[in-house]
Structure 1
Amino acid sequence: MKITIERAALLRSLGHVQSVVERRNTIPILSNVMLRAENGELSLTATDMDLEIVESVPADIARPGSATAPAHTLYDIARKLPDGSQVELDSTGDMLTLRSGRSQFKLGTLPVDDYPAMSGGDMGHRFSLSAADLKALIDRTRFAISTEETRYYLNGIFLHASTARGAGGETPVLRAVATDGHRLARVEMPLPEGAAGIPGVIIPRKAVLEVRKLLDEAADRIEVQLSDTKVRFAFDAITLTSKLIDGTFPDYERVIPTGNDKVLEVDPRLFAGAVDRVATISTEKSRAVKLSLDRGVLTLSASSPEAGSATEELEVVYDAPALEIGFNSRYLLDITQQIEGEGARFTMADAGSPTLVRDVADASALYVLMPMRV
């Protein structure tokens, strides 16, 4: 293989694919990126056996062929080369030579035949949605993904087709749900064409984060393909394929409260600012903040034996009986940051029951937060 490519194009593609490669690998070939040159394009592939990214980029090919090279080393070299430079990649035997200007690097390679392939197989279900919609589904749910490895089935976003009940009856929706047992995020959008028969799937956290990084530079439409075991996202010249989490997502509908009767409405930005300030005093372990509600007034408070105490009052819309309820301040902030409108609506029952949080101006998202004793 012998090619010449612009440094900017190589760096951009290496930046996309190398983030999949783990820094510490027990299998040497998984530390490498596969480079394949043919038909006027250089194709770069990186995988960790659960997730694979393939990206193609135009290149001037003198001799077609393929090679594998250390992903992070190659990326670091490309990053440090001067802007606007041309890069020549030449692989012979078990060596890849990179030349640019007066710089030359020789990198050891591993056999192309040893590189694991993941992309094959028909997916069965196919639909497309806009980059903005996929971004919204991810951004408004990913904070609630569990990091507890023992409950592996919560380590991702549950994506499925469902129906939403509204004033005009039932409408089909695509729903994304994430929970860690302390909070739950459920976001929905109109069901894209072709998505009606999709299986309910759990997309792993790493795949979610990699897709989200790529979406900032993505074209408008994202094609999604699904099977019972894999998901594939394709856009521009990039294809990301991931294994799905093999597990059953819990029946999340059961934890969404329906009988909560105490309603608080507050400006989410003022509320988040007050929570953040008061939480400065709360203990690092519990991060507890107490909400004391009375007609028209919310008092936020926190205390710790070491740091002292803090209180702050806010004017709010609340005319139910007085209530005291405690929450983890980090969880409160995570949820209020998702609310883009002018009002956040908290619907509560008592100090020990789950609280429902919604954006007053947007019915597509719903959040559940478990209280804590304070």
Structure 2
Amino acid sequence: MKVTLERNHLLKSLSHVHRVVERRNTYPILANVLFKASDDHVELRATDLDIEVTESVPAMVSTPGATTVPAHTLYEIVRKLSDGAEVRLETDGGENMVLTSGRSRFNLACLNPDSFPDLKSGAFAHEFDIAAASLRELIERTQFAISNEETRYYLNGIYFHAVQNSASGSLFRAVATDGHRMARAEIAAPAGAEGMGGIIVPKKTVGEVQKLLDGVDGDVHVEVSDTKIRVTVGPVVLLSKLIEGTFPDYDRVTPKNNDKQMLVDKAGFAIAVDRVSTIASDRGGKAVKLSASNGLLELSVTNPDHGTASEEVAVDFETDGFEIGFNARYLLDIITQIRTESAVFLFNDANSPTLVKEEGSEANALYVLMPMRV
């Protein structure tokens, strides 16, 4: 194999594919990126056996061929080359690849490309185009609530599915929960996504897709089967396994009868929560107590080791003498997702889940937060 590439093109592609490669691998081949040179391009591919990312880079191909080289090492080398430099890659069919650029020369150990794993895609039941901005928003609004608890593996991702709504038609919905809080966001279902059953996209895959969407305009192509998802963003193709399992019935835990409504300025409330939680202890679950009376909401924290803190914010709340406690970090995670100037809290009682959403009827996201004893 003998090819010449522009450094910036190669670096951009490597930045996409090398991220899925784990630093530690049981199989040495998984630490490598596959190069396949043919015609006027080089295809790069990397995998961790759960996710596979492929991208083609324009190149001058003198001699077609294939090889695999250490992904992270190659990325660091190319990253440190001069901007706009010309990069030449050459193998003699042996166990080494020579990289030259200007006066720099590197000799990299290769592994046989024939043993590089291929994550078979199979047939896809649904495929559709979705605006990059819409998919990015669904991820951003729900990602924080993904569980890291390995025993409940079916919560270790975002649940995507299509739902039929009598008022809004077909919706494409994303849901994530860790058992303490739940995030739900939705958009009008893209053509082709109607009737799509539920899939659970793993957290690592969600993160990689989010990075690929950064700064992207236009549409991305999504294909879904019972076991895999394939997302095409420009020249980059990401193929991933889905989490096998049953996502819980989130609708059952979404409050329906919370009749105590509180309206609060989002920015002021977030600052107050952050301020009083400074002295909250991890041992106490970062608990903050909310107490409402006479149009004011007092936020207070008690830490036996460091003292107490309290702050008042003005609220629109008709219920006096109402108290409830929350984990301050969970509360901040949710309040930062609110896009309107005011946040709407809907309470039932101090022991029941609280519903948080944006002001107005056009809101396309809602959040559920479990209370704490304080």
Alignment TM class, shorter chain as reference: over 0.9
Answering whether residue 340 of structure 2 is matched by residue 341 of structure 1, we say: yes
Deviation of 1:163 after TM superposition, in Å, equals 2.5
1:52, 1:119 within 8 Å by CA — same for their partners in 2? Answer: no
Q: Which residue of structure 2 lines up, in the alignment, with residue 265 of structure 1?
A: 263
Instruction: Report the counterpart of residue 70 of structure 2 in structure 1.
Output: 70
Q: Return the TM-score normalized by structure 2.
A: 0.97
1:289-318 CA distance string (max 9 Å, x none) = 000012311000001011111100001111
Query: What is the identity, as a one-letter code, of the residue corresponding to 1:302?
Result: V
The equivalent of 1:238 in structure 2 is 236
- Structure 1 match to 2:9: 9
Q: Which runs of 5+ in 2 are unaligned?
A: none
SS in 2 for 1:19: helix
Question: RMSD over aligned Cα, in angstroms?
Answer: 1.0
Superposition map of 1:85-164 within 5 A? 85-92=85-92, 93-164=94-165
How far 1:253 moved relative to its partner? 0.5
In 2, Cα distance between equivalents of 1:283 and 1:164: 43
Displacement of 1:2: 0.8
Q: Measure the CA separation in 1 of the matches of 2:353 and 2:223.
A: 35
Calculate the TM-score normalised by the size of structure 1. 0.97
SS of alignment partner, residue 279 of structure 1:
helix
Is the contact made by 1:230 and 1:243 (CA closer than 8 Å) also made in structure 2? Answer: yes
Deviation track 1:64-119 (CA, whole Å, cap 9, x = no partner) reads 11110000000010111111211101122111110011111111111111000114
Extract unaligned runs of 5+ from structure 1.
none
For 1:363 and 1:218, locate their aligned partners in 2 and report how far apart those are by CA, in whole Å: 24
Q: Is the 8 A contact 2:212 2:233 kept in 1?
A: no
Give me the identity figure in percent.
54
Is the Cα–Cα contact under 8 Å of residues 219 and 235 in structure 1 kept in the other structure? Answer: no
Question: How many pairs align?
Answer: 371
CA–CA distance in structure 2, aligned partners of residues 218 and 24 of structure 1: 31
Q: CA deviation at 1:197?
A: 2.7
Maintained 8 Å contact 2:121/2:228 = no
Q: How far apart, in 2, do the equivalents of 1:222 and 1:311 lie?
A: 47
Is residue 199–residue 227 contact of structure 1 (8 Å, CA) maintained in 2? no
Tell me how far apart the structure 2 counterparts of residues 175 and 182 of structure 1 sit (CA, whole Å).
20
Asked if the contact 1:37–1:43 (Cα under 8 Å) also holds between the matched residues in 2, the reply is yes
Query: Partner letter of residue 335 of structure 1?
Result: I
SS, match of residue 317 in structure 2: coil
Please give the alpha-carbon distance, in whole angstroms, between the structure 2 residues aligned to 1:218 and 1:110.
Answer: 34
Equivalent residue, structure 2, for 1:174: 172
Q: Which amino acid aligns with 2:197?
A: P
CA shift for structure 1 position 57: 1.2
Taking the aligned partners of 2:87 and 2:147, their CA distance within structure 1 comes to: 42
Contact in 1 for aligned 2:229/2:241 (Cα 8 Å): yes
CA distance in structure 2 between the aligned counterparts of 1:331 and 1:38, rounded to whole angstroms: 51
> How many Å apart are 1:186 and its aligned residue?
0.6
Per-residue deviation, 1:170: 4.9
> Residue deviations 1:333-353, cap 9 Å, x none?
000111111110000011100
1:151 Cα shift? 0.1
Distance 1:350 1:217 in 2: 43
Q: Which residue of 1 aligns with 2:350?
A: 351
The answer as to whether partners of 1:164 and 1:171 remain within 8 angstroms in 2 is: yes
Corresponding residue number in structure 1 for 2:327: 328
Give the aligned partner of residue 311 of structure 2.
Answer: 312
- Match for residue 32 of structure 1? 32
Q: Provide the C-alpha distance between the structure 2 equivalents of 1:87 and 1:119, rounded to a whole number of angstroms.
A: 31
Q: Give distance in 2, aligned partners of 1:42 and 1:218.
A: 23
Q: CA deviation at 1:196?
A: 1.2
CA offsets 1:265-304 (integer angstroms, 9 cap, x no match): 1111111110000000111231100000123110000010
